[in-house]
Amino acid sequence: MTITDQQPLGSPFSVTSTAEDVMAGLDLSGATAVVTGGYSGLGLETTRGLAAAGARVIVPARRPGLARAALADVEGCDVIPMDLADLDSVRAATSQINDSIDRLDLLMAVAGVMATPERRVGPGWEGQLAVNHFGHFTLACELYPLLAAAGGARVVVNSSAGHTLTDVRWHDPHFRTGYDKWLAYGQAKTANALFAVQLDGLGHNDGVRAFAPHPGKIITGLQREMTLEEQIERGWVDEHGTVIGADFKTPSQGAATGLWAATSPLLDGRGGLYLEDCDIARVSAPAAPMDDGGVRAYAIDPDGAARLWELSIAATGATPVMR
């Protein structure tokens, strides 16, 4: 991927397109997908869209009982336990997946946390980076042989416009010198985008392509760590918790860009790209407002992506077995 590839290509879909719009007429019979967070919010819409098209969907879930209840009416769906904050749990889940399938066509990294209070995970990692990035990094590395075996797999790692808040804080990625929940979120979303860049660069010879979509602004369970007062102050909801922001998407609209990334023939032969509103995003200026859209150059920088990859290997001990 080069910076010149990061240009809109004229998709037939748009900011208002839904999961149903994107998946209309697609037949995924015989395909297998893994969807993290696939039982609530955007993940649930993603699971429903893939399953309705005929795919077998595996949903690793931190709360498997809740996941099974939410997915009770979805055919072709399997739930297995997994906690992204616990790498032993991630490895146990990937072992179970490796034992049950011989190829993986789609890996959808939809689960995530946002603006959480300071939490330490594992050996003292900052919690948002650990859950949003290290957990998914380990998952993708452990499942890489299945992705390579598919001969055309796609990995979709949800990023966010929140990446505009900060590049990776190379000097202090775990906030040892003072915690800021929004900078921690922004760093994790930048990490998601950079992970897609490097995974695509390393995996494309095996047919493994990766993308990082920004789903848009949606009120889902992602906001569960924020108080009602915080959401009111940001102009997201009223005092009753009702969404009032005019630029908010429905969960189905929010899932559309990830599903487009997973299935669109327009993306054949492409990868390592940041997407928004069912198209490739343009590169944004360093000081452009977050809500103006686009991707910061640092979030698709190959050198930053390679640096993050090495940091992630050192932290997790995970590395994919490339052909």
Indicate which residues carry an active-site annotation. Answer: 185
Tokens of 197: 């860049």
- Give the whole-angstrom CA distance, residue 61 versus residue 81: 5
Q: Strands 279-280 and 273-276, how do they pair?
A: antiparallel
- Give the whole-angstrom CA distance, residue 185 versus residue 165: 8
- The neighbour count for residue 94, using CB atoms within 10 Å, is 23
- Give the whole-angstrom CA distance, residue 307 versus residue 293: 25
Cα diameter, the chain:
55
- Give the whole-angstrom CA distance, residue 178 versus residue 296: 25
CB 138 within 8 A of CB 131: no
CB 19 within 8 A of CB 252: yes
